[in-house]
Amino acid sequence: MTFQCYLPRSSESAAIGAVFVTAGGVRRFIPDHFLAEAELSEQGRLLRLTYTSCTVEVAGQRLAALFDDAIVGRLGTIMQSPSTSGLRDQPG
């Protein structure tokens, strides 16, 4: 069974930011204009999103789509897989 960890923002969406969901169901919203830097590293397996108030690291595979959405200000919903701790929220 595969777990869909990323839901892109639809073009009709009125959303103005990304939503990060932990394995426990805690949801955090960060407005697009808070994004200061997006970096894709480790052969595309680590996405580091630096916001004005925090840094969010997303680990996984095929993260290029998330990176592309982030740099154009249209990042959707990222959910932490129940079997990993791939989402880490760190004070900036």
Give dist(CA 78, CA 59) in Å, integer: 11
Percent of the chain with pLDDT over 70: 84
**How high does pLDDT run on average in the chain?**
86
pLDDT at 86 over 90: no
Q: What is the pLDDT of residues 20-56, one digit of tens each?
A: 999 899 999 999 999 999 999 999 999 999 999 999 9
Looking at residue 3, its pLDDT comes to: 60
Residue ranges of domains in the chain: 6-91
Going from the C-alpha of 9 to that of each of 1, 42, 50, 70, 90, the distances in angstroms are: 24, 25, 19, 11, 24
* Model pTM score: 0.81
